[in-house]
Structure 1
Amino acid sequence: MTWLVTGGAGYIGAHVLRALRDAGLEPVSFDDYSSGHEGFVPDDVPAIRGSILDGQALERAITQHGVTGVIHVAGFKYAGVSVQRPLHTYEQNVTGTATLLAVMADRGVDRIVFSSSAAVFGTPDVDLVTEDTPKNPQSPYGESKLIGEWLLRDQGVAAGLRHTSLRYFNVVGSGDPAVYDTSPHNLFPLVFDALVERRTPKIFGDDYATPDGTNVRDYIHVADLAVSHAAAARRLDAGEALEPAYNLGSGDGVSVAEIMAAMARVTGIEFTPEIGPRRAGDPARIVATGELAARDLDWAMRHTLDDMVRSAWDARRGASQR
């Protein structure tokens, strides 16, 4: 079975390509390289340059490679920036998804795994987020991901599309030294940048109602995430039923202070984080259960926090040396 991975040259998509290959499936990368990197795609995986807004490019890719399923990772993923660029966000994440689904229907491709986000929940007032926790996205990005889930649902009713959505929380680490997080907005690369440039990393607020006063979040290893994508693809190929959406969560979470301590421990660079004021809208805690995904998608937290930091740090240092 051949699976097209949109956004296959990105940090997450490139790990999904590897997981599909390891699971005995045939991946094909489709990426416009607006934030992805050609070097992230394995040499033995076909790589197509194209935009999900370009229906003809999608149709060519699906037809030429005999694609039977799609893992849809491509999109504009910066929640904070989406507030300043709502139209761009909706074009990429909503129009792009609708374009992809239309081409899939035309070409008879009836299965898809969608890259959704914890942003669909906004700032839930619960200790442990489940799949049924009310959705209250608070950015155009979160709204666009929720609309993406609706598009899959409605296309399932209209055309028999078989689908599931995987909601990501905070994805970190590296499963391959050649692939690392290059986002200018994510915590791990921001801390690494500060350490490399001999600046002091910053924590925004240490007076939250958490054990150490800093925000608690779900941090999951990108390789664990990728395994569950491959598991979802295999189940869809087998015609097995899946839930409409799964939370890929840790069940307990990690505080920002704990991450900073792990950063110092693993890198060997001693530092005391600078404490800044709270950022508006930052909740004290967002942690999700991954029980349904563990039941159906081989989801497990196979990596410790130190594993996550070490793999990310090694990949980052390797990149700077190449």
Structure 2
Amino acid sequence: MTVLVTGGAGYIGSHMVHALVEAGESVVVIDNLSTGFSTYLPEGVPLFIGDVADENLVEGVINAHGIDAIIHFAGSVVVPESMRDPLAYYRNNTATSRNLLNAAVKCGVKRFIFSSTAAVYGNPDITPVAEEAPTRPLSPYGSSKLMTEIMLHDIAPAYGMEFVVLRYFNVAGADPQGRTGLATMGATHLLKIAVEAATGQRNKIDVYGTDYPTPDGSCIRDFIHVSDLVQAHRAALAYLREGGTSTTLNCGYGRGYSVLETIEAVRRASGRNFAVQYAPRRDGDIMTMIADTSRIRATLNWTPQYDDLETIARHALAWEEKLARERFGVELMAKSA
């Protein structure tokens, strides 16, 4: 049995490939390398450079490697960008997923794990937000992911496929062993921007909105360490192989940290101060997003190992320092706490 990981050279995908290889799984990757890096994949893992929307490519990989499950990460993930160019998001996230699913169905793949997002909820009426909450996305990014979820719900009974949709909250951190992390230039993840500011690669960090009805006026997020997230995928794969039925699960820790609290965690980890600039709210941003994690904990054999903002910040910082050494050949000014 072999697992196909789409977008497997990207941030979360590369962590997934390392976790699967460590678990003794046979893995193949399809990635167009638009935001991924082949250098962060484990040695010996087959990489097919191409578009997941190319059904001929996908069918060839499935048939050649005996794929029994697909973990689908490939897609676009930047909320403000989706507001500026929604058609790109409906192409990259929705139309591409449709083509991938069509190839999977034609080749008889029966297990599918989908990388979705808490952005499908929009601004929830109640937090922590449960999977049964109304889905009212505020951005084309959230809508494009929700459309794929709807496709999966229709496909499963029609073609005998079982799936797990994992709705990510805020993914952060990096591999504790330093093998991979978020390496995309110009990334928009809060922790990534903060550690770039802490290491002198940015002259400031912008905080969008300080007038929300939250304790310090900034947005609140449920951060999940990327290594815990990929272990949730491994648990979802085991669940499906053991006969589990299709389900949708939140991936978070069930606790929230504000944007300003997160910045302070990075300051403590780095031992450095850095400038913060306050800016107006952005369209598409959600005020408070905290996961109700009762379903995932009851459904999967999954116990988080890095449920601590300070640890997440330290791992993100260590990765950023390693990147700087690799790219610029210099030691940055941050010091580990």
Contact 1:4 1:27 in 2 (8 A): yes
Is 1:125 paired with 2:125? yes
TM-score by length of 1: 0.94
Contact 1:182 1:189 in 2 (8 A): no
Any unmatched runs of 5+ in structure 2?
327-337
Match of 1:167 in 2: 167
Residues 253-285 of structure 1: per-residue CA shift (max 9 Å, x gap): 111111111111101112463333333454431
Displacement of 1:252 after TM fit? 1.6
Match of 2:294 in 1: 291
Is 1:306 paired with 2:307? no
Is 1:179 paired with 2:180? yes
Displacement of 1:198 after TM fit? 5.8
Q: Distance in 2 between matches of 1:157 and 1:305?
A: 40
Residues 54-96 of structure 1: per-residue CA shift (max 9 Å, x gap): 1111011111111111001111112211122222211111111
SS of aligned partner of 1:68: strand
The AA in structure 2 aligned to 1:211 is P
Match of 2:281 in 1: 278
Question: Residues 301, 124 of structure 1: CA spacing in aligned structure 2 closer, same or farther, 3 A cutoff?
Answer: same
Q: Distance in 2 between matches of 1:199 and 1:77?
A: 24
Match of 1:234 in 2: 238
1:194 counterpart (166, 190, 197): 197
Q: Which moved more, 1:15-24 or 1:259-268?
A: 15-24
The AA in structure 2 aligned to 1:14 is S
Q: Distance in 2 between matches of 1:297 and 1:19?
A: 17
Q: Distance in 1 between matches of 2:108 and 2:310?
A: 44
Q: Which moved more, 1:85-94 or 1:126-135?
A: 85-94
Question: Residues 89, 188 of structure 1: CA spacing in aligned structure 2 closer, same or farther, 3 A cutoff?
Answer: same
SS of aligned partner of 1:33: coil
Match of 1:211 in 2: 215
Residues 159-183 of structure 1: per-residue CA shift (max 9 Å, x gap): 1111110001110001241312135
Report the RMSD for the aligned CA atoms in angstroms: 1.6
Match of 1:318 in 2: 322
Question: Residues 306, 93 of structure 1: CA spacing in aligned structure 2 closer, same or farther, 3 A cutoff?
Answer: same
Q: Aligned pairs, how many? A: 321
Contact 1:86 1:140 in 2 (8 A): yes
Correspondence 1:25-104 to 2 at 5 A: 25-104=25-104
Correspondence 1:132-171 to 2 at 5 A: 132-171=132-171
Identity level (%): 37
Q: Distance in 2 between matches of 1:80 and 1:205?
A: 14
Q: Which moved more, 1:56-65 or 1:189-198?
A: 189-198
TM-score by length of 2: 0.90
Contact 2:110 2:160 in 1 (8 A): yes
Q: Which moved more, 1:177-186 or 1:259-268?
A: 177-186
Q: Distance in 2 between matches of 1:113 and 1:283?
A: 25
SS of aligned partner of 2:252: coil
Q: Which moved more, 1:44-53 or 1:157-166?
A: 44-53
Contact 1:200 1:271 in 2 (8 A): yes
Contact 2:83 2:284 in 1 (8 A): no
The AA in structure 1 aligned to 2:106 is D
Q: Distance in 1 between matches of 2:234 and 2:108?
A: 21
Q: Distance in 2 between matches of 1:2 and 1:9?
A: 17
Residues 208-247 of structure 1: per-residue CA shift (max 9 Å, x gap): 222233211111100000001011111212222352x101
Is 1:107 paired with 2:111? no
Any unmatched runs of 5+ in structure 1?
none
Contact 1:5 1:29 in 2 (8 A): yes
Q: Distance in 1 between matches of 2:115 and 2:92?
A: 13
